[in-house]
Structure 1
Amino acid sequence: MYYSNHDRGHEPWENPIETTGRPVDEPPRKHKRKGSGAKVAALCLVCALVGGVVGGGGVAVATGALNGGTSTIYEGTRTPTTVSVANVTGNELLTAPEIYAAYVGSTVGITTEIVTTNGWGQPVSSAAAGSGFVITSDGYILTNYHVIEDANTIKVSFVDGTSYDAELVGGEEENDIAVLKIDATGLTPVIIGDSDNVRVGEQVVAVGNPLGELTYSMTSGIISARDRSITMENGEVMNMLQTDTAINSGNSGGPLFDMYGQVIGITSAKLSGSSSSSATIEGLGFAIPINDVKDMVTDIIENGYVTGKPYLGITVSTVPESVSERYGMSQGALVESVDPNSCAATAGIQEGDIITALNGTTVISSAELIEEKKNYSAGDTVTVEVERDGEKQTLSLTFDEDTPERRAAQEEALEQQQQENQQNEQNSSGNSGSDFFWPFGNLSPWFY
């Protein structure tokens, strides 16, 4: 008798393969017939096939003679899974096939074209891909900001083959969300869930566009952890849900569903073991909790941007610890430029100041200043502790509102200032004058 691998060591299955010839307890005969190795391999293959299908019960579909005996191959039968989406309300537990059937039409693939200028002044076109999902029946779509960042054109595609040119309504870089709009009606939006109710160990599924070409793929896993503080490539620190659901390049911006079919997160990142874009660590994916961005999404739809965000009007960089120790300077956020029309200028903050605390909370880096500023809204008044020429000062500041117009004006002013600095450096090259230079050189500034 032959047994399937998973049955070895147990009682044989009922109705095993029947063979005739020598008695069971007779020692095996040695045949020197040419080609016997191929027949043994064929016999083992048949056994493997039978062992693989008999376990679930089945019917005979083929019989034949083998070495004078009779062999039977069994084929399993099963009733096809019935998937009904008629009663999907978000209030009942669903199976993964039901979630997929109900909402694959609400998930979109996003492709963008980005045009840049190379060193010779020639336009260079590149493409990027990601995912998104429909949040209103009249064509608003939510995705990650980094999916559409710097895009010249945006196109979204649905599982039925239809595609639309999309317009960027507004984005929020710090929280990595963006809202798109397409000219369509009668769409099926997802149901927005409550990420605060999610518990570690709960099953979740994701639908997206991995690698930009395996469109409308579903992956599954569990919530591995909540409230993970993750530092992104751009230095932003974000609160995330951790999941072992497979998330790869192209999944960014797609929905993470709980088993009620409600979106509780936006798949956004995967931990990488190297500095390259190819993630080499498995089972460590991250999603933005939907509760963290619900109100922001509404703001973007209604106003084109997130209202009430505080604006300082400065660019800053971090004073390295080594420089602080060597030159006797405080660690903190070094002010590299000040918007003359901002609250920072009104409060008396100057270029070269080192911000060491915001409203009594110590900050030792630009990233910490970013995080602390998020605790306030436009119109709030705070104290700012700065070190200037080795002396400590405490200033009072009332936050402005961060609007797209303010941000654009600041970026334009910064670009102009950088061009002027480059020109001044060229003019002063070879000059032995007494210009002051920060001992740690040029640093990459943060916008505030």
Structure 2
Amino acid sequence: MRRYLYLLVGGLGTVVAGLLGWYAADKLLDRNGQAVARAEPPDKQAMITESRKTALVTASSLVSPAVVSVSVIGERQVAASPFMDPFWAPLFPPIYRTERVVSLGSGFIISADGYVLTNEHVIHEGDSIVITLPDGRSYKAEMVGASERLDIALLKVKASGLPAVKFGNSDNLAPGEWAIAIGNPVGYLLEDLEPTVTVGVISATGRTIRGEEGGRVYRNMIQTDAAVNPGNSGGPLVNADGEVIGMNTFIFSKSGGSEGLGFAIPSNTLVKCVEELKRYGKVREAFLPISVQNITRDLAEALDYPGFSGVAVVSSRDDRLKPEDIIVEANGRPIRIVGDWEDITYFMTPGERVRVKVFRKGQYLDIELVAQEVKETGIKTSLGLEVAPLTPELAEKYGLAESSGLVIVNVQKGSFAERMGLERGDVILNVNGITPESVEEFERAVESRKGLLEMVVSRKGSRFYISYRY
């Protein structure tokens, strides 16, 4: 009997020990003997959520708060003929009316004190500019400065503590790396203000795209297949580290939507332009006083040049370079054709230095060139435009093929000249049968025929005729 009692007590002890072990496992004891909660296994949903936080998600979240909608309201003069038949258009002056223009685009904040970048074409001719942050805050923006040629505009709002982006180095981009395009492709059509994020890769760098005749020439552009749609203009292109590497500017498309051919202005160009606009309110333009041409086989043989790429100096106003020198490298970048040289020199500021390697009479020489500022002092005329005599510097700046004439350096908004369709960079070759070489001669030519103005104008190398009755 006593033996069975021992067995029963032993059995009960085993059961009690098991129950205590289960309780201790479920309610762990602290050093004071107090029960603490047992560590639960990781939540499956939390693990899935954490796995979604990829580098691209993190990069987008770093930049998106600083991406803004840009709303622009302006006015422009629109000409319309009183007759539907174009036969009568040259005989009767057009009727002008003021048209209200509303446009939407994107931009991004680059400093906590309210500096904002966008494309110049987004705010072009805008009288009122308002930016709206993703959190709903809106501010009226003032223009600090813009470069129509570079298609960059710097705005300023009166605010502080704003979210701002960080710039990356666009010179270090590699085709195939991730690219994130952020912007507002549909403006206010969506009820919320969160920017749209699309992802692709860097397709290529150093692209040069020429617009239609008289349009902009975009150089050294970044190409991406990240979806960029109308309204994305001015928004940032971001790398996987959450750094802005470019500004989305335009697309090639037959449908009007993204087809995988988007182009962005490199961040290094943006940073350089911002410094100019902040300090001077404009981009001071400079040039190297030389002209070049592509190397041909016959020219290479004539100069005993053993290579097959490079550009030959045609003329030089810098004593360090001679005609027939062949430039093969600039700032460490190989120069194969004129386009490569223009990529180096298209955006230079006064005093900027360029290191070139040239071939001269069997030897390679290293030469440093210094960019000279383009002086652009125009004189106002009665038509509401400012003109200056054509100089080599102005010819270089505007890419002019003409060797003489008066260059239009400014057209006042709403002026008679604007209604005629004259633009900055046009060269006036003839006015009412007179070839003007000074502002005085220009004014005399304008007054020589009351009520009729006939002009021959050169624009980007193409000449056209204007006949205007008033």
| TM-score for both structures, normalised by structure 2 | 0.52
Task: Find out whether 1:126 has 2:86 as its counterpart.
Answer: no
1:227 deviates by: 1.1
Matched, 1:225 2:204: yes
In 2, Cα distance between equivalents of 1:182 and 1:142: 11
Cα distance in 1 between the residues matched to 2:208 and 2:145? 25
Residue in 2 that maps onto 1:262: 243
CA distance in 1, matches of 2:380, 2:219: 26
* TM-aligned CA deviation for residue 308 of structure 1: 5.0
2:154, 2:204 → 1: CA distance?
A: 27
Alpha carbons of 1:185 and 1:247: their partners in 2 closer, same or farther (altered >3 Å)? same
**Contact 1:244-1:283 within 8 A present in 2 as well:** yes
Cα gap change, 1:399 to 1:155, in 2 (>3 Å): same
Q: Is the 8 A contact 2:219 2:343 kept in 1?
A: no
Larger radius of gyration: 2
CA displacement at 1:294 relative to structure 2: 1.5
1:268-322 Cα shifts (integer Å, max 9, x gaps): 110133xxxx63661111111111231221121122122353499xxxxxxxxxx
User: Retained in 1: the 8 A contact 2:113–2:159?
Assistant: yes
**Aligned match of 1:179 in 154, 172, 186?**
154
In structure 2, what is the Cα distance between the partners aligned to 1:378 and 1:94? Answer: 44
- Secondary structure in structure 2 of the residue aligned to 1:105: helix
1:401 matched to 2:401? The reply is: no
Return the alpha-carbon distance in structure 2 between the equivalents of residues 102 and 377 of structure 1.
Answer: 32
> Which residue of structure 2 aligns with residue 210 of structure 1?
185
* Match runs of 1:158-177 below 5 Å: 158-177=133-152
- The amino acid across from 2:56 in the alignment is A
What is the DSSP-based 3-state SS (H/G/I as helix, E as strand, rest coil) of the residue aligned with 1:103? helix
User: 2:207 touches 2:222 (CA, 8 Å); kept in 1?
Assistant: yes
Q: Distance in 2 between matches of 1:156 and 1:240?
A: 26
Q: Check conservation: 2:180, 2:237, Cα contact below 8 A.
A: yes
SS at match of 1:279: coil
Equivalent positions of 1:80-119 (< 5 A) are 81-82=49-50, 95-119=55-79
| 2:105 counterpart letter in structure 1 | G
Does 2:374 align with 1:374? no
1:206 Cα deviation from its structure 2 partner: 1.4
Aligned to 2:114: 139
Q: Which of 267, 272, 282 is matched with 2:253 structurally?
A: 272
- Tell me the CA shift for residue 375 of structure 1: 7.1
SS at structure 2 position matched to 1:299: helix
Give 1:240's aligned residue: 221
Match of 2:431 among 377, 400, 421: 421
Q: Secondary structure at the match of 1:268?
A: strand
1:412 counterpart = 2:381 = no
Cα gap change, 1:368 to 1:198, in 2 (>3 Å)? closer
SS of 1:118 mapped into structure 2? strand
What secondary structure sits across from 2:179 in the alignment? Answer: strand
Distance 1:441 1:141, change over 3 A: closer
Report what 1:298 is aligned to.
275
The 1:370–1:258 alpha-carbon spacing in structure 2 relative to 1, beyond 3 Å, is closer
- Go from structure 1 to structure 2 and tell me whether the alpha carbon gap of 1:262 and 1:401 turns closer, same or farther (over 3 Å shift): same
- Determine the C-alpha separation between the residues in 2 that align with 1:131 and 1:437: 36
Deviation of the 1:419 alpha carbon: 12
Q: Please list every run of 5 or more consecutive structure 2 residues that lacks an aligned counterpart in the other structure.
A: 1-43, 80-94, 290-312, 317-322, 327-338, 353-369, 388-407, 412-416, 418-426, 434-444
> Is the CA contact 1:114–1:150 (under 8 Å) kept in the aligned structure 2?
yes
The CA distance in 2 between the partners of 1:159 and 1:368, in whole Å, is: 40
Contact 1:179 1:297 in 2 (8 A): yes
SS of match in other structure, 1:98: helix
Residue 407 (structure 1) shift: 6.7
Matched, 1:250 2:222: no
User: Percent sequence identity over matched residues?
Assistant: 32
Q: What CA distance in whole angstroms lies between the structure 2 residues aligned with 1:272 and 1:408?
A: 42
Hey, what does 1:87 align to over in structure 2?
Answer: none
Residues 162 and 118 (structure 1 numbering): CA distance in 2 closer, same or farther, change over 3 Å?
A: same
TM-score relative to the length of structure 1: 0.54
Aligned letter for 1:210? P
**Structure 2: which amino acid aligns with 1:412?**
E
How far 1:211 moved relative to its partner? 3.2
* Aligned counterpart, 1:282: 259
Aligned residues: 288
1:237 is displaced (CA, Å) by 3.5
